[in-house]
């Protein structure tokens, strides 16, 4: 079974430009999460999808960030326009529908975003 | 304000000895606690979890202990191996299917 994949692995853009990150969750996983880790800090929650619906977007920093999950499969996270403080590693994670014994989330390798 | 705290940024242990990683939390609503391991340039990998109704969970060389009254959990690795060298994140959740709240991580170095 393929794991969570993310594209690109690394992106370097200038302040003011737009970047789109993509996440492909594990097949059949309804839950998809986006997290971000700024250097040296904790991994912070951004957004949670259940299938194609946004369940919780309380972690989104501001309206420069837009996430979509059309069709309930892959998801994109667009940053427009990018600012210096958006630099960090963006992780995507997925998990199946709620099961009694399973709370773990499966993470992708992350996209390292550098805004210069 | 951080709800999950890992106060030791790093830990160095000799191969074969026990590694003990600590985690404290402030939110009494947390029901599940998880440990993730992370190698450079990779995503976090799930290691072991514990529900709040238990005080211990064991999986091979890894054991997690939970002290609810102290709002403290710890991960024990015994015996430690060089391949265990990684950053370990403590995470918590109030129910399944909700976002995880992470600590800042502890970098474990196991010296041969």
pLDDT in tens, A14-43: 999 999 999 999 998 999 999 999 987 899
Gap between the Cα atoms of A51 and A29, Å rounded: 8
Gap from B36 CA to chain A (nearest CA, Å)? 9
What 3-state class would DSSP assign to B96?
Answer: coil
The more confidently predicted of residues A103 and B21 is B21
CA A105 vs CA A19, A32, A86, B36, B73: distances in Å: 25, 9, 24, 10, 19
Helix (H, G, I), strand (E, B) or coil at B84: helix
Are the beta carbons of B10 and B104 closer than 8 angstroms? Answer: no
Q: Which residues of B touch A42 (CB under 8 A)?
A: 2, 4, 89, 102-105
Average pLDDT over residues A86-108: 85
Average pLDDT rounded to a whole number, residues B35-50: 96
pLDDT for residue B54 is more than 50: yes
Q: pLDDT > 90: what percent of chain A?
A: 84
Q: What SS3 class is residue B82?
A: helix
Which H or E run includes A24?
A: strand A19-24
- Confidence tier at B27 by pLDDT (50, 70, 90): very high
Mean per-residue pLDDT, B24-42: 95
Residue A86 clears pLDDT 50, i.e. is over it: yes
In the block, which residue shows the tokens 């963006």?
A90
pLDDT on residue A100 = 45
Which chain A residues touch B100 with a CB distance below 8 Å? 33, 35, 43, 45, 93, 105
What would the mean pLDDT of B5-27 be, rounded to a whole number? Answer: 97
Look up residue A50 and give its two tokens.
Answer: 């259940």
Which residues of B lie closer than 8 Å to A, measured between beta carbons?
Answer: 2, 4, 32, 34, 36, 41-46, 49, 89, 91, 93, 95-105
């Amino acid at each position: 079974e393929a794991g969570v994949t993310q594209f690109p692995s690394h992106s370097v853009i200038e302040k003011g430009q737009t970047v789109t990150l993509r996440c492909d969750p594990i097949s059949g996983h309804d839950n998809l999460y986006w997290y971000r880790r700024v250097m040296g800090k904790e991994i912070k929650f951004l957004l949670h999808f259940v299938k194609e619906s946004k369940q919780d977007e309380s972690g989104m920093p501001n309206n420069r960030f837009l996430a979509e999950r059309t069709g309930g499969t892959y998801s994109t996270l667009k940053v427009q326009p990018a600012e210096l403080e958006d630099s960090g590693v963006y992780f995507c994670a997925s998990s199946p529908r709620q099961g009694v014994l399973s709370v773990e989330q499966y993470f992708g390798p992350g996209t390292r975003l550098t805004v210069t | 304000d951080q709800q999950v705290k890992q106060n030791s940024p790093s830990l160095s242990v000799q191969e074969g000895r026990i590694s003990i990683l600590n985690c404290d939390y402030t939110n009494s609503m947390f029901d599940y606690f998880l440990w993730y391991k992370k190698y450079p340039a990779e995503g976090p990998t799930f290691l072991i979890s514990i529900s709040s109704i238990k005080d211990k969970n064991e999986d091979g060389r890894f054991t997690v202990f939970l002290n609810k009254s102290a709002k403290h959990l710890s991960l024990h690795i015994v015996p430690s191996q060089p391949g265990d060298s990684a950053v370990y994140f403590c995470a918590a959740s109030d129910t399944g299917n909700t976002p995880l709240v992470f600590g800042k991580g502890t970098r474990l170095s196991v010296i041969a």
